[in-house]
Structure 1
Amino acid sequence: MIAIFNKFRIGLVPIYVMLAILTASVTLVSCSKDDELEIQNDFPFEVNVMPVPKDVANGQTVEIRIDIQRTGNYSNTQYFLRYFQFDGQGILRYYDEQPYLPNDLYPLPTEQFRLYYTSTSAVSQSFDVWISDSFGNEKQISFQFNSAD
């Protein structure tokens, strides 16, 4: 009985070898260059801004709370900020850092942050903030403050 079992087991070895070769060839053929795996790392985003006052007096500072909302998560995404003031005069800064210069690009270390705008004029003021990511996606936020006497 053992002799019959050994012959049966020896007869299965070529079948196992053929199955292994067939499996390997199917796997290699299915991984051709035309079917490359695409990894998405470019995710659009939205920007949420908490309400700000409508009026600002000369010398007054307004807090602007901003939250970047990703539609996907790619850990190497970097965010940047630039701004341009086209009416009135004021100073925009990130927390207590040096004031931003108009049209210069600044990296944002976090996706939730606060900007502080200090009015330096007695007229209405308007400026835009652009937030962009390292893939070229960009959102514009417009701010307008009336003069408060």
Structure 2
Amino acid sequence: MEKIKRTFMIVTVLAALALLVSACDDTLDVFQAYSFDLVTMPVQESLREGETAEIRCTLAKEGEYKNAEFFIRMFQPDGEGELKMDSGTVFQPNDLYPLKKTEFRLYYTSHCSDQQTIDVYIQDNFGQVVQKTFSWQDKRASEDITDK
């Protein structure tokens, strides 16, 4: 009886080891598409015609993949203005521009006294997209209207 118990124990341990060894996989999982977000400092809410607002941006990534590429584009649904990168690049609506830095500044210059809105899109080469919307109102123009 003792010999049967010992044999059964040895067979059970060997079976468990065989299962553990066969469950291991030598292939390496490489994760490429890490999620990210565009983080900004607070942006002023009022902007008069001709004034420029600075938008300080940081691309916050959850992981690092050396072949990841990021791009930026903008669209302006309301108002008229110009969005410029700190490198001097002036953005055209819906054109895609490479984003080489994770910390950068955008400068929006108002060209009207109406409410203005811009949508900034950051996307990576894996198809992930993050959108941020910025809006400004010309408070002086609205005060002039209410004073009349």
TM-score > 0.5, shorter chain as reference:
yes
Q: Letter of the 1:80 partner, please give it.
A: F
2:33 maps to what in 1? 42
2:101 matches 1:110: yes
1:126 maps to what in 2? 117
Q: Letter of the 1:49 partner, please give it.
A: T
Task: Calculate the TM-score normalised by the size of structure 1.
Answer: 0.74
In the TM superposition, residue 35 of structure 1 has moved relative to its aligned partner by 6.4
Is there any run of 5+ residues in structure 2 with no aligned partner, and where? Answer: 1-21, 141-148
The separation in 1 between residues aligned to 2:69 and 2:27, in whole angstroms, is: 26
Q: Letter of the 2:28 partner, please give it.
A: L
Moved more, 126-135 or 90-99: 90-99
Q: 1:98 aligns with which of 54, 77, 89?
A: 89
Task: Calculate the TM-score normalised by the size of structure 2.
Answer: 0.75
2:51 maps to what in 1? 60
Is there any run of 5+ residues in structure 1 with no aligned partner, and where? Answer: 1-29
* Number of equivalenced pairs: 119
Map 1:7-46 to 2 at 5 A.
36-46=27-37
1:97-139 residue CA offsets vs partner (Å, 9 max, x unmatched): 1310000000011011000000000111011000111111110
Runs of 4+ in 1 over 4 A off after TM superposition: none
1:145 maps to what in 2? 136
1:84 maps to what in 2? 75
Q: Look at both structures and tell me which one has the larger radius of gyration over its CA atoms.
A: 1
Q: Letter of the 1:144 partner, please give it.
A: S
Percent identity of equivalent pairs: 40
Quickly say closer, same or farther: Cα 1:96–1:41, change in 2 above 3 A. Answer: closer
The separation in 2 between residues aligned to 1:87 and 1:41, in whole angstroms, is: 36
